[in-house]
């Protein structure tokens, strides 16, 4: 299996621009998670889906952030407009159930200038 795939691996953008991060979960997994990691705040869960349905988005920092999962093999995390404080590494993870071990992608390093 190819594991969780994320793209792009690196993104540099200017403040105010729209950013879209993409994730392909492991085939057969029905739960998908978006995390953000920074030195200051550590690893934070932003949102997670079960069977393509958002279950909890209480970790999404504000309305500038949105996530979708149109089908079982694809999810996006969008930031519009982006701000310098959004600079972080964003991880996608998937699992075969919401309480089971999660498998992480390599992450997208986002820099907003």
Partner 1 sequence: AQSVTQLDSHVSVSEGTPVLLRCNYSSSYSPSLFWYVQHPNKGLQLLLKYTSAATLVKGINGFEAEFKKSETSFHLTKPSAHMSDAAEYFCVVRAYSGNTPLVFGKGTRLSVIA
In this structure, the chain runs to a length of 113
The token pair that represents 49 in the structure block: 């889906």
Specify the residue, 38 or 81, whose C-beta has the smaller distance to partner 1.
38
Residue from 1, 62, 63, 101 binding partner 1 (CB under 8 A): 101
Three-class SS of 22-69: EEECCCCCCEEEEEEEECCCEEEEEEEEECCEEEECCCCCCCCEEEEE
Residue from 21, 31, 77, 94 binding partner 1 (CB under 8 A): 31
Q: How far is the CB of 81 from partner 1 (least distance, A)?
A: 26
Q: Find the Cα–Cα–Cα–Cα dihedral 63, 64, 65, 67, rounded to 10°.
A: 80
Binding mask 40-69 for partner 1 (x = CB under 8 A): --xx-x--x-------x-xx----------
Q: How far is the CB of 91 from partner 1 (least distance, A)?
A: 6
The residues binding partner 1 (CB under 8 A) are 4, 31, 33, 42-43, 45, 48, 56, 58-59, 91, 93, 95, 98-107
């Amino acid at each position: 299996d190819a594991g969780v795939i994320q793209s792009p691996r690196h993104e540099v953008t200017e403040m105010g621009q729209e950013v879209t991060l993409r994730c392909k979960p492991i085939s057969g997994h029905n739960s998908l998670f978006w995390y953000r990691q920074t030195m200051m705040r550590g690893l934070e869960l932003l949102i997670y889906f079960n069977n393509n349905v958002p279950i909890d988005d209480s970790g999404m920092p504000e309305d500038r952030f949105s996530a979708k999962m149109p089908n079982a093999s694809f999810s996006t995390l969008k930031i519009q407009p982006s701000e310098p404080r959004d600079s972080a590494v964003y991880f996608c993870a998937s699992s075969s159930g919401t309480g089971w071990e999660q498998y992480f992608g390599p992450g997208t390093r986002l820099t907003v200038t």
